[in-house]
Structure 1
């Protein structure tokens, strides 16, 4: 039963992790549950619900008896499945602790608290890309602590110092979005409004109500049966129950789970997965999991559909902004410790851009043709981007289909794949080879074995439309059509009091403003045409904390005493002067 990563968490360590944290009434995820030591503590502390993952089959059977079991492999859990979770408490396998903590952060909903143990060496020695990413997350959103050899007297000893990581994900979305909108009484409308065929909604609601009534009838029959046979020897302990996998299910639990299943059925009828982004699906899943006090009635079903349709534009804007931030984060000099490329910009999406974490070639069974990680980080980004572009352009997502299936299209063994691609290079049985171009949806695509996907907008107008929409959402100006700054054939000499410098690789000179001194410090404001942004260069080390007065999304900080700002105005420079007491 035990493997090299199985180390049950001592109760004293759990108490340290949860010190000052209110668990009562909260929904908690334990993604590497083992035999359930943390689960037992959470249940005793009054957690409303404990959701678990455990990859070892024997341990999974144990922990499933004391929690709501989600799936074996936590690394295959996506954000829509845990969008209702309040806290994540985890003791991940130390052989991959950084990967598990980063994944927890990526899928955690807004406002979620993450409490994680790890090998302290993971935090002390950040030699790998994932460790650098984790280090940056801790710096920006939490803290770390060396607990020492706290497993020294544990059930299984580790022999290493244990690190504790606490991360708090910022709260962005409105958790009370649906509050006050639905009826709390069972009152049904007389007719539908055309969003779905009325008979299907009524049929679904009627099935739900009938099932709850049948459960009540079982309870009535159980009481009557007990009265009839109680005098017969050996029959007095006979009990009627509704059970699933050998576990009894009381009326309230049955009703809640049936209601969640009914909501999911309604959303499947609408085919929401095809036309809404992963973020919207996460919001919907959170609603389903947490809004059991809302009666499942015809009237409330239509009100929910009205919310989804009525707020589609604002949700698509949110999706566009999320995708934009994810793509631009991977530019070459980013401060997030993630992989970056010069192809990507940091304040707009270039016509060609690169997304990592895309492909799924297994080195054990290497393939000549492309392999895509289904429902992976990269595929979710590009699917969300495409759905948002469909909204902007008026096209249907059905015209291009889900990117998750681009490696299965030609054979179409599944019979229902509607994804359409156009190979532009060599193929094998119709599937593009690694490193060869193909067209899908709005993009020309090249996928590489190392995991990156290279995308180029096919239509320059769609590219321009996307960046203009982002500029509108974020509130900064762009030209009508994104384009490179023209190179001057005969650049004018710098004005008196200015200096001209040539940055390595720059396509045009950088005009530098006069240096302004403050004591032993100095600062210069320059315009970099290659970056299309302002560089403010300091003559001393400037910490990131000193730049908190600026909007975080508008600048990037570099250890070379610079930061780049995408908008320059006299007001901005006035702020900088005031902040650093420049004369």
Structure 2
């Protein structure tokens, strides 16, 4: 079949021989694999044959994606919209990305890959002959964290359904693994209902009855799913007698990210229900102020990797207690991630897109710049009105940073707003190029999409750098030494 006339220019099914060259015997037994551009599922089926415990996939073509629902768990249509939380349990990302946008796809894989993840990706060798920001950044990551191997024109073999003379490389990347406090070491209760006697909850964070009701509804939903699924299987068995009938029964719906499910399994249903249930727990406990992307990723990894840990009262108590005891560490992780984001935009960093001298690689300056600002312009009464917002990646990063800094400064209040930075800062800024003052910093926005931040409190600025430095094993000197070196300046 001539797929070239049917699908877009990036559709190159991966021949079995090429997959084997990519993998070089990489063990996949019990692995959780993500295939970001699954196409017709060649890599998906290979991974399942090699013993992968779970294969997840993305595919932007509607027809091809529909066929994948029976092969694997479809995470999303567009891989570039996938977040770290959605793939928190993935051990391998194996990809034949669209060649027209290959660097962006591999870089996104690197950004969302969990710590310790292995990334194996095909890439046209010719891309490394050019010099532009994304390929430079990819080249540096390959040099630091992996290797690139030339395979030759492997898509010009007889078994290839679509051929090209382009020389192909395989990139292998290994994401460093850092120790992180998760929930694996907790001694979970394995009974279906959990504690029957936890007191009245009158003096606690939440009324006991509300939590107990949620647990009962969760277990009831699972029991009813089993009954409906069993009935569906019996109906489908009878329907098969009538070959002309194209109706079939089974669970369908959308996951928490709006992606369509088809032929939903009990295990996937349980996990989706638990994701939603844990969100309810943190809302009921009024803990949104601590619900950063770091915590969401930890919870997602726990739900995806736990082998049917019962959602019961005792286990809720164990997880919430572990979160409360580790809030400081979770917020400090957000500070370190913010530090790394700011430093990645330093003029000294060869992988930066636009490079700013305000941003430092060793200690974040009093003033720093980040990109990702977007605006909408409307006219009211003959005057322009600007609405500011951040792209999804920057929004999450800056919101985590802002929440963490509020926590470190002891400024957390009782309002339960998840998007704290948007509510406190973005909505308060009304125009471009104007400084707006907040608790410990000021900020101004520019039309080209940059946000300029400046610490106005030396103690907060120092605490931010000190926290990041401690995690990285650096020494930055005292506040007085920083002032003496003129690292800090008074705001005019």
Question: Taking structure 2 as the reference length, what is the TM-score of the superposition?
Answer: 0.82
1:187-243 Cα distance to aligned partner (Å, 9 max, x none): 3141266233322221111112222333455578799999xx9xxx99xx9x99653
Larger Rg: 1
Change (3 A) 1:252 1:349: closer
Measure, in 1, the Cα distance between the counterparts of 2:235 and 2:143: 64
Deviation at 1:452, TM superposition (A): 2.9
Change (3 A) 1:339 1:299: same
1:243 aligns with 2:251: yes
Higher share in helix = 2
Measure, in 2, the Cα distance between the counterparts of 1:440 and 1:213: 51
Change (3 A) 1:402 1:352: farther
Higher mean C-alpha displacement, 26-35 vs 469-478: 469-478
Measure, in 2, the Cα distance between the counterparts of 1:460 and 1:149: 57
Measure, in 1, the Cα distance between the counterparts of 2:337 and 2:424: 26
The residue that corresponds to 2:403 in the other structure is: 387
Measure, in 2, the Cα distance between the counterparts of 1:267 and 1:454: 33
Change (3 A) 1:325 1:212: closer
Measure, in 2, the Cα distance between the counterparts of 1:58 and 1:241: 21
1:20-31 to 2 correspondences below 5 Å: 20-31=25-36
1:275 aligns with 2:281: no
The residue that corresponds to 1:188 in the other structure is: 195
1:316 aligns with 2:331: yes
1:345-366 Cα distance to aligned partner (Å, 9 max, x none): 222221101123x124699xxx
The residue that corresponds to 1:372 in the other structure is: 389
Deviation at 1:274, TM superposition (A): 4.3
Change (3 A) 1:29 1:221: closer
Measure, in 1, the Cα distance between the counterparts of 2:209 and 2:146: 51
Secondary structure in 2 aligned to 1:151? helix
1:34-433 to 2 correspondences below 5 Å: 34-123=39-128, 125-153=129-157, 154-174=160-180, 177-186=183-192, 187-191=194-198, 194-217=204-227, 242-244=250-252, 247-249=262-264, 251-252=266-267, 254-270=269-285, 272=287, 274-336=289-351, 339-356=354-371, 358-360=372-374, 369=386, 371-376=388-393, 378-396=394-412, 406=422, 421-423=427-429, 431-433=430-432
Please tell me whether the aligned partners of residues 80 and 278 of structure 1 are also in contact (alpha carbons under 8 angstroms): yes
Secondary structure in 1 aligned to 2:173? strand
Change (3 A) 1:224 1:348: closer
Deviation at 1:15, TM superposition (A): 1.4
Deviation at 1:75, TM superposition (A): 1.3
Higher mean C-alpha displacement, 155-164 vs 267-276: 267-276
Please tell me whether the aligned partners of residues 156 and 164 of structure 2 are also in contact (alpha carbons under 8 angstroms): yes
Alignment size in residue pairs? 457
Measure, in 1, the Cα distance between the counterparts of 2:275 and 2:361: 41
Of 457, 460, 463, the residue aligned with 2:461 is 463
Measure, in 2, the Cα distance between the counterparts of 1:20 and 1:121: 26
Deviation at 1:53, TM superposition (A): 1.4
Measure, in 1, the Cα distance between the counterparts of 2:334 and 2:265: 40
Secondary structure in 1 aligned to 2:154? coil
1:11-26 to 2 correspondences below 5 Å: 11-26=16-31
Measure, in 2, the Cα distance between the counterparts of 1:213 and 1:55: 34
1:63-94 Cα distance to aligned partner (Å, 9 max, x none): 23322112222112121111111110111111
The residue that corresponds to 1:511 in the other structure is: none
Deviation at 1:256, TM superposition (A): 4.6
Long gaps (5+) in structure 1:
407-416, 424-430, 488-528, 531-583
Measure, in 1, the Cα distance between the counterparts of 2:386 and 2:91: 41
1:432-471 to 2 correspondences below 5 Å: 432-433=431-432, 435-439=433-437, 442-471=440-469
Long gaps (5+) in structure 2:
1-5, 254-260, 378-383
Measure, in 2, the Cα distance between the counterparts of 1:401 and 1:295: 29
Q: CA RMSD in A?
A: 3.5
Measure, in 1, the Cα distance between the counterparts of 2:265 and 2:368: 53
Secondary structure in 2 aligned to 1:41? helix
Secondary structure in 2 aligned to 1:243? coil
Deviation at 1:316, TM superposition (A): 1.6
Deviation at 1:384, TM superposition (A): 1.6
Measure, in 1, the Cα distance between the counterparts of 2:373 and 2:251: 42
